[in-house]
Amino acid sequence: MGKYHELAKEIVKNVGGKENILGLVHCITRLRFTLKDENIAKDEVLKAMEGVVTVMKSGGQYQVIIGNHVPEVFEDVMELIDLKEGTAPAAEQKSGRFFDRAIDVVSGIFQPILGIMAACGMLKGLNTLFVALGLYSAECGGYLIINGAGDALFTFLPLFLGYTAAKKFGLKPMLGLAVGGAMCYPGIQAGTLSAGLEPMYSILEGTMFASPVYIDFFGIPVISMDYTGTVIPVILAVWFASKCEKFFNKIIPDLVKFFFVPMLTLLITLPVSVIFLGPVAAFGSTLISELTLGIRSFSPLLAGGIVGFTWQILVIFGMHWGFIPVYINNVMTLGYDNVMMPFFACTFATSAVVLAIFFKTKDKKLREMAIPNFISGIFGVTEPAIYGILLPLKKPFIISCIAGGIGGAFYGQFNFRKFILGGMGIFELPNMMNPDGTMGNMIVALVGIAISMAVGFFLTMLFYKDKEPEEAEKTAAVTETKAAAKAKDEEITLASPLNGKIVKLSEVKDEAFSSGVLGLGAAIEPEEGVLYAPADGRISALFPTGHAIGLTTKTGLELLMHVGMDTVQLDGKGFKVFVEAGEEVKQGQKLLEFDRKLIREAGYSLVTPVLVTNSDEFELVEPTEAEKVQAGDLLLRVM
Catalytic positions: 27, 562
User: Can you tell me the distance from the alpha carbon of 161 to that of 180, in angstroms, rounded to the nearest whole number?
Assistant: 7
**Dihedral (CA of 398, 403, 406, 409) sign:** negative
Q: How many CB atoms lie within 10 A of CB 96?
A: 16
The strand pair at 558-562 and 608-612 is best described as antiparallel
How many separate helices (H) and strands (E) can be counted in the chain?
23, 21
313 close to 417: Cβ distance less than 8 angstroms: no
User: Can you tell me the distance from the alpha carbon of 459 to that of 390, in angstroms, rounded to the nearest whole number?
Assistant: 14
Treating both helix axes as pointing N-terminal to C-terminal, what angle do 157-169 and 141-155 enclose, rounded to 10 degrees? 30
Tell me phi and psi for residue 575, to 5 degrees: -115, 140
Choose among 531, 512, 634: nearest CA to 592: 531
User: Can you tell me the distance from the alpha carbon of 124 to that of 464, in angstroms, rounded to the nearest whole number?
Assistant: 41
User: Can you tell me the distance from the alpha carbon of 328 to that of 168, in angstroms, rounded to the nearest whole number?
Assistant: 20
Q: How many CB atoms lie within 10 A of CB 359?
A: 11
DSSP string, 308-329: HHHHHHHHHTTGGGGGHHHHHH
Which amino acid is present at 40?
I
Q: Which region holds residue 423: left if phi is over 0, alpha if psi is between -120 and 50, else beta? A: left
237 close to 273: Cβ distance less than 8 angstroms: yes
Residues 6+ apart with CB under 8 A from 5: 76, 79
Could you give the count of Cα atoms lying within 13 Å of 510 in the half-sphere of its Cβ? 22
Residues 6+ apart with CB under 8 A from 350: 312, 377, 382, 385, 386, 390, 400, 404, 456
User: Can you tell me the distance from the alpha carbon of 31 to that of 64, in angstroms, rounded to the nearest whole number?
Assistant: 5
Question: DSSP label at 389?
Answer: I
The distance from CA 165 to its chain's CA centroid, rounded to whole angstroms, is 18
User: Can you tell me the distance from the alpha carbon of 23 to that of 181, in angstroms, rounded to the nearest whole number?
Assistant: 27
**Dihedral (CA of 316, 318, 319, 320) sign:** positive
DSSP helix/strand/coil, 33: strand
Residues 6+ apart with CB under 8 A from 250: none
Q: What is the CA radius of gyration of the chain?
A: 28
Choose among 495, 515, 343: nearest CA to 416: 343
